[in-house]
Structure 1
Amino acid sequence: MKLKTSVPGQYLGYGLQPTRLCFHLMNEASGSKISLEHLDDVAIHHKSGTVILEQSKSALSGNPASNKSADLWKALSNWAELPRSLFDSVDLFRYYVTPFKSGDLVRELNEAKDVGKAATLLKRFKTKSFKGAPGIGAEPLIAKFLAAGDPVCLKVIERFELLSENDPLETIRGKLAALLPEENLDRFCEAAIGMAKAEVEGLIRKGKVPLIETGGFRKKLRAFIRKYDFSNLLAPTTSAPADHQISDILARQPTFVQQLSAIDPSSRLMAIAVSDFLRATADKVTWADAGSILETSLDELDESLVRHHRLTADELSDTHAELEAALRGRQLYRRCTELQLPLEGRTLPAYFVSGEYNCLADDRRLGWHPNYLSLFPSRSP
């Protein structure tokens, strides 16, 4: 049995069986095939010829894992009535329940992996006290199961597996988490489930067996991820700040604002600079905390920005030495903040480089006025 702690319910937007189909397509070895509503709700067909049959039950109301659950006994009796050729090829009869539910009987069934434990359970099933009154509750389904005979019933019990978890999407997210940023997982989960569902429905419409090969599905999914790579764009984490937030920064006069003031900027340029500074600062923290970027990548970006600043300042000192200091500083600022660079090969929001330049100015690693080194001495040794 498997217990998950995440919240239930999101899978309802996709359908439980397509969600389980998608998970198995991502989880099973290449060469295996997964079917939907063919041999069972979902079935795993191994290259060796053996299969795993899975009954998938939603437990948002009621408990399909309770001792006398009609769902449970219907699954057991259906498995016991399988054609002999199919029955003998089954490695596991899996009973999947979500959100997490359990019961004394399913726990005992799950643990009855040898003939002795299975026989003890089967003996109890035959008692009148267990079956209950004829025709009442689960009794007809229990009788149907027992009618298959002891050898079959024992094998169903021995091969029974209970799997219960709170959120069936979590296992799919786990498969994608190593490849994609956290903020993109749900979008790709939805896409992967949709692809699995569409493919199997296409087979059904064509009158073909609804059977999908795992390796082929994963190849298509990888191609989809490459084509629609949401992770290639580092998305903004905040909207533009309000006017009062900008006014508050200007009133506090942090170093980057003082550096800009030294080159007599327009009020509009100053407001844009403060906005870019605030948004870039928020983005860096959020992206790093979410694992969307490596912090060392920001250091590499900063080195590139500082290098560009030095080269541009040197060029302007050669070509525009006659300009007054403030005007030369504004030209330097514009030339630097118009630069667009990627971060880890991903496109940055338009404001980010400008914001990061102001972060560097705030740390006195660079400046805009030709004499910024004397006006704003660096804190670095």
Structure 2
Amino acid sequence: MNIPLKASKYSAPGQYLGYALQPLRLCYHLLDCPAGAYVSMEHSEDVAVHYPDGFQLLEQDKSALKQNPISDWADDLWKSIAHWIRGIRAGEIDPASTTFRIYVTPAHEGELAAAISAATTLEEVQEVTAQVRAKISKRRRPPSCQADVQEFLDASDGERFGLISHLEIDSRDNDPLVALQSVLALAVPEKLMERVCRYLLGNAKDRADRLIREGRPAVISGDEFKRNLHSFMQSNNLPGYLRSLSGPPEPAQVGAVISTRPTFIRQLELIQAKDEQFVRAASDFLRTSADKALWAEAGDIFEGELDGWDDDLVRRHEFIRGEIADTHADSNAEARGRLTYNRCGAVQASLAGREVPGHFIHGSFNALADNFRVGWHPDYKELLSDDGE
């Protein structure tokens, strides 16, 4: 694959975290791209598709909830055009093997944007350029995008033609999720559509996040992503298994939970747990809470089933705690607490007759510890009630 190893100076790793549109478009392209293609986010462009024949699609994504990013003098429109012109001039982008796309949602219109998107011949590009010159010359004041417009006007005929003849402005979707669902429609039953979309969006974003955190390009194989969809569909067609609908929480979220010292973390402090046990406990606690809400929302579980689940785990905890008190009476309280915690974490249990992910059992025990329904240290109730927190 002809994928640049160095990120484009125009892309902005880290800024995507506040933009839900880019992970959605990443997911869309991973499903829509042909065999052998790769899709990147915040590397060559907001989102880019790298085809096996060396061609590429560079896409800039514009959320238009508050303003029209393709109006005649919109900063977003001309900023995109100017930076692609600079990329072509610098030799960083070969327009002959590139499709440029500005994706806008919800749908908007712009006179110049429509003309730019429709121009494919040298004559049409020259007509659009003349139209831009004429319209901007009639303004009493220069627009805020004047510098970017001038970059376009000062470009050579070849640079302008290379860009505009390969540029498309896509502003048809009022809801970008509909485009994603249309790609999935033939493979995913309607009753599973929301769940599958939720899983795929989380999976795509988690992969990109992890690669960026590792300092690597966020480039993902479309073939591998489609195989994951196939596996997910197979597992969701098994009535005896509840598949997690949540992704692993961000390290910052886990750290924030540990630093606030909720009750389940203080319970681990009492038994002098290892650092990695704090991290796993907080991570599984957050993911379990998310899965409970998502399963309930999807109609996979009901409130009464969770009550029975919690009661079952409390009973198992009491059996384990009593056994360790009898068999390890010579061990100190902290050691007995660690044994109880580890044995509970290894419990195998089903929720209303259905198998659950491993993190859900461990996270549920920590949720019960957070509510004082279970504890690890033999004297956890007295110690925690006396610490004044």
Q: Deviations over 1:220-261 (max 9, x none)?
A: 12112222338899xxxxxxxxxxxxxxxxxxxxxxxxxxxx
Q: Which amino acid aligns with 1:227?
A: S
**CA separation of 1:226 and 1:212: change in aligned 2, threshold 3 A:** same
CA distance, structure 2, for counterparts of residue 189 and residue 110 of structure 1: 30
Tell me what 1:104 maps to. 111
Shift of 1:132: 4.1
What is the DSSP-based 3-state SS (H/G/I as helix, E as strand, rest coil) of the residue aligned with 1:29? coil
Q: Is 1:88 the equivalent of 2:67?
A: no
CA distance, structure 2, for counterparts of residue 93 and residue 224 of structure 1: 33
Match of 1:119 among 104, 121, 126: 126
Tell me what 1:44 maps to. 49
Q: Is 1:17 the equivalent of 2:40?
A: no
Shift of 1:180: 2.6
Shift of 1:133: 5.8
Match of 2:148 among 138, 141, 144: 141
CA distance, structure 2, for counterparts of residue 45 and residue 174 of structure 1: 22
Using structure 2 for the length normalisation, give the TM-score.
0.53
- Equivalence map 1:339-354=2 (5 Å): none
Q: Which amino acid aligns with 2:178?
A: E
Tell me what 2:375 maps to. none
- Equivalence map 1:168-183=2 (5 Å): 168-183=176-191
What is the DSSP-based 3-state SS (H/G/I as helix, E as strand, rest coil) of the residue aligned with 1:92? strand
Tell me what 2:39 maps to. 34
Contact 1:131 1:139 in 2 (8 A): no
CA distance, structure 2, for counterparts of residue 229 and residue 14 of structure 1: 32
Q: Which has the larger radius of gyration?
A: 1
Tell me what 2:166 maps to. 159
**CA separation of 1:197 and 1:79: change in aligned 2, threshold 3 A:** same
Runs of at least 5 residues in structure 1 that lack an aligned partner in the other structure: 1-11, 234-346, 348-381
Q: Is 1:72 the equivalent of 2:83?
A: no
Contact 1:125 1:131 in 2 (8 A): no
Q: Which amino acid aligns with 2:231?
A: A
**CA separation of 1:139 and 1:229: change in aligned 2, threshold 3 A:** same
Shift of 1:127: 4.0
Contact 1:25 1:213 in 2 (8 A): yes
Shift of 1:128: 7.0
Contact 1:14 1:190 in 2 (8 A): no
Q: Which amino acid aligns with 1:108?
A: A
CA distance, structure 1, for counterparts of residue 134 and residue 170 of structure 2: 27
Larger deviation, residues 99-108 vs 179-188: 179-188
Contact 1:25 1:217 in 2 (8 A): yes
Shift of 1:138: 2.0
Larger deviation, residues 127-136 vs 168-177: 127-136
RCO higher in 1 or 2 (8 Å CA, sep ≥ 6)? 1
Q: Is 1:54 the equivalent of 2:59?
A: yes
Shift of 1:112: 0.6
**CA separation of 1:229 and 1:127: change in aligned 2, threshold 3 A:** same
Contact 1:34 1:43 in 2 (8 A): yes
Runs of at least 5 residues in structure 2 that lack an aligned partner in the other structure: 1-16, 242-353, 355-389
Contact 1:14 1:193 in 2 (8 A): no
What is the DSSP-based 3-state SS (H/G/I as helix, E as strand, rest coil) of the residue aligned with 2:93? helix
Using structure 1 for the length normalisation, give the TM-score.
0.54
Q: Deviations over 1:153-198 (max 9, x none)?
A: 1221111101111111112212222233212211111111111111
Q: Deviations over 1:137-159 (max 9, x none)?
A: 22121012223322111221111
Q: Is 1:185 the equivalent of 2:190?
A: no
Number of aligned residues = 223
What is the DSSP-based 3-state SS (H/G/I as helix, E as strand, rest coil) of the residue aligned with 1:84? coil
Q: Deviations over 1:302-357 (max 9, x none)?
A: xxxxxxxxxxxxxxxxxxxxxxxxxxxxxxxxxxxxxxxxxxxxx9xxxxxxxxxx
CA distance, structure 1, for counterparts of residue 240 and residue 148 of structure 2: 54
What is the DSSP-based 3-state SS (H/G/I as helix, E as strand, rest coil) of the residue aligned with 1:109? helix
Q: Which amino acid aligns with 1:47?
A: P
What is the DSSP-based 3-state SS (H/G/I as helix, E as strand, rest coil) of the residue aligned with 1:66? coil
Q: Which amino acid aligns with 1:123?
A: A
Q: Which amino acid aligns with 1:44?
A: V
**CA separation of 1:177 and 1:88: change in aligned 2, threshold 3 A:** closer
- Equivalence map 1:351-366=2 (5 Å): none
Tell me what 1:194 maps to. 202
Q: Deviations over 1:252-310 (max 9, x none)?
A: xxxxxxxxxxxxxxxxxxxxxxxxxxxxxxxxxxxxxxxxxxxxxxxxxxxxxxxxxxx
Tell me what 1:260 maps to. none
CA distance, structure 1, for counterparts of residue 144 and residue 204 of structure 2: 37
What is the DSSP-based 3-state SS (H/G/I as helix, E as strand, rest coil) of the residue aligned with 1:203? helix
**CA separation of 1:192 and 1:40: change in aligned 2, threshold 3 A:** same
Contact 2:62 2:104 in 1 (8 A): yes
CA distance, structure 1, for counterparts of residue 138 and residue 156 of structure 2: 16
Contact 1:134 1:140 in 2 (8 A): no
- When the two chains are superposed, the root-mean-square deviation of aligned CA atoms in Å is 2.5
